[in-house]
A and B are shown apart, each in its own frame.
Chain A
Amino acid sequence: AQSVTQLDSQVPVFEEAPVELRCNYSSSVSVYLFWYVQYPNQGLQLLLKYLSGSTLVESINGFEAEFNKSQTSFHLRKPSVHISDTAEYFCAVTPPTGKLIFGQGTTLQVKP
């Protein structure tokens, strides 16, 4: 079975500061890794995913995540956040033929 732990329930940060949202997972088999984002009053949207290949994956809006197999982590980072990044962020894992397992979510609060 797989499980996901998001280590911070809330992360307050000032605009233009860097941010890291932490995600650790547990699995006895190889998994695919995802970050989904939920903006206020909207549905979940895929932010980025790691399936194979380069361990560093990037999104179109400046976020990046690095798959670290030895530490079973998939932390999400952005060097400079914007007010519009305020949202709930969910880390998720799945074995290739399995169902998506989500973490509990991290609320990113970007302050002016």
Chain B
Amino acid sequence: GAGVSQSPRYKVAKRGQDVALRCDPISGHVSLFWYQQALGQGPEFLTYFQNEAQLDKSGLPSDRFFAERPEGSVSTLKIQRTQQEDSAVYLCASSPSRDRGTGELFFGEGSRLTVL
């Protein structure tokens, strides 16, 4: 497709379950970002990839969160042993620019995670 695609769009998990969220960026985009958006809040940075290299993971809230982009295209955000505070919309964005400060980010519609 032409845009950033995320799946699943909605995920309900029981506390303690592991979840995996997928992001298909726009073809050829070098940079990929994950953001977490809690209800009523702005998106908060989680992690950044340039091709397959994870250059910044400073926003990951705990070691239960793990992201990968093994072939420099599709990325997966994995959350282990989910907790209620993990409930949020997880946004993926991609950019054709290597300079993450100036490039326009193209966002997917997000994956809404609800942990019961």
Contact = CB atoms under 8 A, between A and B. Distances in A.
B partners with A: yes
B18 interface: no
Interface string A86-106: 000010101111111111110
A32 interface: yes
Given A43-B4, A44-B91, A94 B43 contact: no
B41 A104 contact: yes
Contacts of A6: 42
Interface in A59-112: 90, 92, 94-105
A28 interface: no
Chain A interface, DSSP helix/strand/loop, else mixed: loop
Given A45-B107, A46-B105, A95-B101, A101 B91 contact: no
Interface residues of B, number: 26
Interface string B34-45: 010000111111
A44 B110 CA distance: 9
A44 B44 contact: no
Interface of A: 4, 6, 9, 32, 36, 41-46, 49, 51, 90, 92, 94-105
Interface of B: 3-4, 33, 35, 40-45, 48, 56, 59, 91, 93, 99-102, 104-110
